[in-house]
Amino acid sequence: MQDTLKDAVPFTIVCDTLDNPDNIPSAVLDNAPYDTVLTSFSLCTAKNPQAALDSIFSLLKPGGTYVFLEHILHPAEDDATVVEHEHLNVKLWSKLQDWLTPLSKFFFHGCHLNRQTDKMILNMDGWESVEYKSIPEAFALVEEGVYRCSGVLSSEQIKYLDTLSLKTVLILSVEGPSRALSQYMKTKGIRRIHLGMTRWQANLGWKPVSEELIKDALECLLDKRNHPLLVVCSSGVRETGTLIGCLRKLQHWNFNSIVYEYRSFAGGKGKYTQELFIELFDTDLVTLPSSLPEWFVEEQRMWKQEQQQRFAELYAKPTTEQA
């Protein structure tokens, strides 16, 4: 293992370098070809993306893998991957990207929001196979074995779920999952827990959700026998954001950090009542399952140790030396 690490050479290649093969560092060329080339939000800023793709292709060995993460021009209205957005008609997405691209290029080092990078890659000759996956909206890793995203998924976004090896999908909204997601869960044998329907309550007053829903959802989320687990709701923000905020409170996060995470996902869809619900939620309502994930157990141990140390420092009696 030590010899392998000694011989390994890490490389960082900026996208401008790939536009012109003559500018690629000799150290990179000397160690080519490679098993894998990875780019992340690079082709959107390349001055000549096709030339950059040709350079990437030349660096790969036969049978090598090119992994990319890029934002692209929103698909056309008749594209099978299109999902109707909750707050913005899909017809406006591509126009909005066109309008914002000049500003994006100026402030973000030439980033093109309206580039059809996916089609450029897919249309290149020489690929043995191409697997295209689109990341779901509001997707994130919450903790090891726990994920979150919007419950409205396109066929391409559902393909991305294959990478998670899900065991359970926890649905928090009253509305059921889309037909495509329901079929996916059935085909893959994924357990479906629809708490949003079974724990729905009317006349909650100012509260955006019920304590019973959040309590039961937390107990389900913290049972590692359900992992890997995906938490979804119709928007990916309302119920899901409230649940994750209450989880962070149970993890003893600082409230400012909880609100920051909530607002990062909510954007313009965030509501003060949800933040207030998180702040006032009584974590003592939650009955911790017997099978807790390791990350939660370790966090609780560290927090308890820290509290004991603070208590000891606070109440420590000063000692005086005897003459």
Could you report the per-residue pLDDT of 24-39, keeping only the tens digit for each? Answer: 777 777 788 888 888 8
Is the pLDDT at 269 greater than 70? The verdict is yes
Only one residue has tokens 């100026």, namely 106
- What pLDDT shows up at residue 78? 47
- What pLDDT shows up at residue 5? 39
> Looking at per-residue confidence, does 279 or 21 come out higher?
279
- What pLDDT shows up at residue 12? 54
Region 146-174: mean pLDDT is 91
**Beta bridge pairs of residue 69:** 40
Is the pLDDT at 173 greater than 60? The verdict is yes
The per-residue DSSP string of 282-316 comes to -GGG----SS--HHHHHHHHHHHHHHHHHHHHHHP
Closest CA to 220 of 231, 233, 234: 231
Is the pLDDT at 18 greater than 90? The verdict is no
Most confident region among 151-160, 168-177, 250-259 by mean pLDDT: 250-259
CB 157 within 8 A of CB 86: no
| Mean of all residue pLDDT scores within the chain | 84
- What pLDDT shows up at residue 110? 85
- What pLDDT shows up at residue 86? 42
- What pLDDT shows up at residue 317? 62
Most confident region among 21-35, 149-163, 225-239 by mean pLDDT: 225-239
Q: Write out the catalytic residue numbers.
A: 233
CB 223 within 8 A of CB 200: no
Region 115-142: mean pLDDT is 84
CB 171 within 8 A of CB 151: yes
Region 264-275: mean pLDDT is 89
Question: Band of the pLDDT at 229, cuts 50, 70, 90?
Answer: very high
- What pLDDT shows up at residue 9? 53
Region 39-51: mean pLDDT is 85
Region 290-315: mean pLDDT is 92
Among 9-13, 56-60, 287-291, 295-299, the minimum mean pLDDT is found in 9-13
What is the rounded distance in angstroms from the CA atom of residue 50 to the CA atom of residue 43?
A: 9
Residue 198: phi and psi, rounded to 5, are -75, -25
- What pLDDT shows up at residue 211? 94
> Looking at per-residue confidence, does 233 or 199 come out higher?
233
Region 198-227: mean pLDDT is 92
> Looking at per-residue confidence, does 21 or 155 come out higher?
155
What is the rounded distance in angstroms from the CA atom of residue 276 to the CA atom of residue 297?
A: 27
Region 134-143: mean pLDDT is 90
Among 43-47, 75-79, 292-296, 297-301, the minimum mean pLDDT is found in 75-79
Question: Band of the pLDDT at 189, cuts 50, 70, 90?
Answer: very high
